[in-house]
Amino acid sequence: MTQTITVLAVVAAMLTVAARLRGPGLATRGWVTAFHSLRRQLPLLIIAFTLAGYLEAVIPQSFIRSWMGAGAGIRGILLGSVAGGLLPFGPYIVFPMGATLQASGAGTATMVAFVTGWMMWSTGKLAFEFATLGPGFTARRMAVYLVFPPLAGLLALLFFGN
Amino acid sequence: MKSAERVLALIAAGLAMLAYLRGGWGLWFKGLTNTANALTSAAWLLVLAFAISGLMEVLVPPSTIRKWLGGESGLRGMTMGCLVGALTPGGPYVYYPIALALYRAGAGTGTLMAYIAGKAIWDLPRLPLEIGLFGTRFAVIRLTVTLFVPLAAGLLGNRFFGNFRARAKEGGAS
């Protein structure tokens, strides 16, 4: 964790310098934007972490292990894809929930399918897509994207195990 | 409170009640301890993740993205679409309007699908959060097995729906 934070701090510092070089006040504007969105998302973050914390407390680990664990194979991958795809929330909610599943014994391939399913099938974004590009585009995009989450899970299972 | 927050708060309250019914105050406090531990260990990570995303938002405004992709088509357009998708900060209310503008500027179905998939899969501003919450190993595996996805989505979109023109908001089918 410390290592991750150090790397992120370096990236943030580099972006700050880049913004500073790009224009006067740009770096400050970036940080102000960041703090505004953090403040706006804070209630949601606290609720999401509370949800994940209690989920971890009540969810039987044996259930997660048998349905999503190392031995779950293709069934786990399909379940993960659908579960991720059905969650209509942003990353600040879905990632803490996913991390809870991971800590409770869900396998790597299942989690890859879960995260990819959420990223690509993303029910939460359908309304925006309908409104901008139209349902015809959404239907075609879903037809093209349908295969990828299970495929990503299978590739993870094949190359990295569960 | 927004509706998503209300629903999630209800679910969290339901889970907290379940914890109490299942294991008394002991399990209830365990849930609370889990929450506190996760929040304190992720606090700096969250601040930095938001900082990176905010800085990218001012460094790469939507007008720049439209300029990068305007008029690009074919394989070059799709590749650019994936890369620019990866750099686009913000949620769907940011990148769907960009996608619409790209469509109006003449981008094909494949380019749009590549752009949306690039944003979904490679999303650089979101990466810190993924690494922080799932760990570096998981993030590397996830990125490795999905590296080809945005370009493949663009190619498939072009192959099957190359002739389809998305409906512009006020334009009607074309």
pLDDT of residue A8: 83
Q: Do A130 and A138 meet the contact criterion of CB atoms below 8 Å apart?
A: yes
pLDDT of residue B1: 56
Q: Do A81 and A150 meet the contact criterion of CB atoms below 8 Å apart?
A: yes
In terms of C-beta density within 10 A (0-12 exposed, 13-18 middle, 19 or more buried), how is residue B123 classed? Answer: buried
pLDDT of residue A152: 97
Tell me the β-bridge partners of B172: B168
> Looking at residue B168, what DSSP letter applies?
B
What does the block give as tokens for A33?
A: 């934007």
Region of A98 on the Ramachandran plot (φ > 0 left; ψ -120 to 50 alpha; else beta): alpha
* For testing contact with chain A, the best of B27, B52, B169 (most A CBs within 10 A): B52
Contact between chains at B130 and A95 (C-beta distance less than 8 A): yes
A100-150 pLDDT, tens per residue?
A: 999 888 999 999 999 999 999 988 788 788 888 888 899 999 999 999 999
Give the alpha-carbon dihedral of A152, B66, A127, B126, to 10 degrees.
50
Contact between chains at B164 and A137 (C-beta distance less than 8 A): yes
B89-120 pLDDT, tens per residue?
A: 888 878 888 888 788 777 888 899 999 999 99
A25-61 pLDDT, tens per residue?
A: 999 999 998 999 889 888 888 998 898 889 888 888 7
CA B148 to chain centre: 17
Q: Which of B109, B121, B114, B108 is nearest to B152 (CA)?
A: B114
List of chain B residues whose C-beta atoms are within 8 Å of the C-beta of residue A16: 55
* Better-scored residue on pLDDT, A87 or B21: B21
List of chain B residues whose C-beta atoms are within 8 Å of the C-beta of residue A45: 39, 46
* For testing contact with chain B, the best of A31, A37, A87, A119 (most B CBs within 10 A): A119
Q: Do B82 and B151 meet the contact criterion of CB atoms below 8 Å apart?
A: yes
ipTM of the complex: 0.83
List of chain B residues whose C-beta atoms are within 8 Å of the C-beta of residue A111: 134, 138, 142
Q: Which of B98, B80, B101, B82 is nearest to B90 (CA)?
A: B98
Helical segments of B60-135, H only: 62-69, 74-87, 92-104, 109-122, 127-134
B141, pLDDT greater than 90: yes
